[in-house]
């Protein structure tokens, strides 16, 4: 985005001001030659707000386009709490500058990465994925390709590029070219607690939900009023619902699914589209600044 768009918005002041301090330090001078060179390179490199826009996007504005596909997010994981605001601003800014209306904007959710963890916990990457799903729901004519089953623990860039591309392709074929195919990953709709079990309902389930490998449902954690997360057992019922429970949580209050940087999770549709990670709670995010 243009640097001035971010500066005028106000929601990202702490990040913008940190870069302004670096700029002021450079202009003030007084550093040795090596430090001056390093700071100059940092101010002109891609991570400074506005630089990528000026160098790569601005020259292309005005060319006719059918839509956009987007792959990004890792760098923002530490600030996941603001990513949906940032992404929404980016999409609306691009659409305004291109002057072609609300053209399609399809993006790839973060893949699975790093070591798998057997016990429940918090995750910056899970929070970033949630922000991406928020964008899908908040901004019209957007689409999200879920790829938490395609990543590699030792490679931040998924090797199965064709599979990633085909999930984006489903959105374009269905939404823009008239093909009658499944294109959207299932998403959490609501939770109901009955007899110590959480009954979860989902939208966009296509031909029905199932496990992708073993018959055991994997990827769910559950907690009670104490807020302590426990691994949960699950059972797919009726094609669009999943029953979750744990003997350690007799009165469940919240459930999470695939809530990890590299989640061990296996719910998909009959068409092979993975269930979107989610949480039913509104606990404070670990990426949110302490007040």
Q: What are phi and psi of 180, to 5 degrees?
A: -90, 80
Residue ending a domain, among 130, 154, 176, is 176
135 and 191 both lie in a single domain: no
144 and 223 both lie in a single domain: no
The model carries a pTM of 0.94
Tell me if 224 is assigned to some domain: yes
147 and 201 both lie in a single domain: no
Answer whether 144's CB lies under 8 Å from 129's CB: no
Tell me if 286 is assigned to some domain: no
Residue ending a domain, among 176, 195, 224, is 176
Residue ending a domain, among 176, 209, 229, is 176
172 and 199 both lie in a single domain: no
Whole-angstrom distance, CA of residue 232 vs CA of residue 244: 6
The boundaries of the domain holding residue 217 are 187-279
Q: What is the CATH number of the domain that holds 22?
A: 3.40.50.1110
Q: From the centroid of its chain, how far is CA 46?
A: 21
Tell me if 290 is assigned to some domain: no
Answer whether 73's CB lies under 8 Å from 287's CB: no
Q: Per-residue pLDDT for the chain (291 aa), expressed as one digit of tens each? A: 999 999 999 999 999 999 999 999 999 999 999 999 999 999 999 999 999 999 999 999 999 999 999 998 899 999 999 999 999 999 999 999 999 999 999 999 999 988 888 788 899 999 999 999 999 999 999 999 999 999 888 888 888 899 999 999 999 999 999 999 999 999 999 999 999 999 999 999 999 999 999 999 999 999 999 999 999 999 999 999 999 999 999 999 999 999 999 999 999 999 999 999 999 999 999 999 887
136 and 216 both lie in a single domain: no
200 and 116 both lie in a single domain: no
- Between helices 83-98 and 124-138, what is the axis angle to 10°? 40
> 105-108 and 68-71 as β-strands: parallel, antiparallel, unpaired?
parallel
46 and 136 both lie in a single domain: yes
Dihedral angle of Cα 60, 63, 67, 71, to the nearest 10 degrees: -10
164 and 195 both lie in a single domain: no
**Tokens standing for residue 36:** 């001056």
Quote the number of domains for the chain.
2
């Amino acid at each position: 985005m243009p640097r001035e768009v971010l500066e005028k918005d106000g929601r990202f002041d702490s990040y913008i001001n940190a870069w302004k301090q670096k700029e002021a330090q450079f202009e003030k001078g007084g550093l040795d030659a090596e430090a001056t060179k390093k700071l100059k390179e940092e101010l002109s490199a891609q991570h400074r707000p506005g630089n990528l826009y000026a160098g790569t996007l601005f020259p292309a504005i005005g060319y006719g386009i059918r839509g956009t596909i987007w792959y990004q997010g890792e760098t923002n994981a530490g600030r996941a709490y603001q990513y949906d605001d940032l992404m929404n601003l980016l999409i609306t800014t691009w659409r305004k500058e291109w002057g072609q209306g609300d053209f399609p904007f399809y993006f790839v959710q973060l893949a699975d990465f790093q070591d798998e963890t057997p016990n429940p916990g918090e995750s910056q990457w899970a929070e970033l994925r949630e922000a991406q799903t928020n964008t899908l729901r908040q901004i019209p004519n957007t689409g999200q390709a879920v790829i938490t089953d395609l990543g590699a623990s030792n490679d931040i860039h998924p090797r199965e590029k064709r599979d990633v591309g085909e999930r984006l392709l489903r959105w374009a074929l269905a939404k823009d070219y008239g093909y009658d195919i499944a294109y959207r990953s299932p998403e959490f709709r609501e939770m109901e607690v009955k007899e110590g079990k959480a009954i979860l309902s989902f939208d966009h389930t296509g031909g029905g939900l199932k496990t992708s490998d073993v018959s055991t449902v994997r990827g769910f954690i559950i907690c009670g009023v104490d807020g302590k997360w426990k691994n949960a057992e699950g059972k797919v019922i009726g094609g669009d619902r999943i029953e979750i429970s744990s003997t350690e949580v007799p009165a469940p209050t919240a459930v999470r699914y695939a809530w990890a940087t590299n989640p061990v999770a296996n719910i998909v549709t009959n068409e092979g589209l993975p269930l979107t990670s989610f949480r039913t709670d509104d606990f404070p995010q670990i990426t949110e600044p302490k007040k």
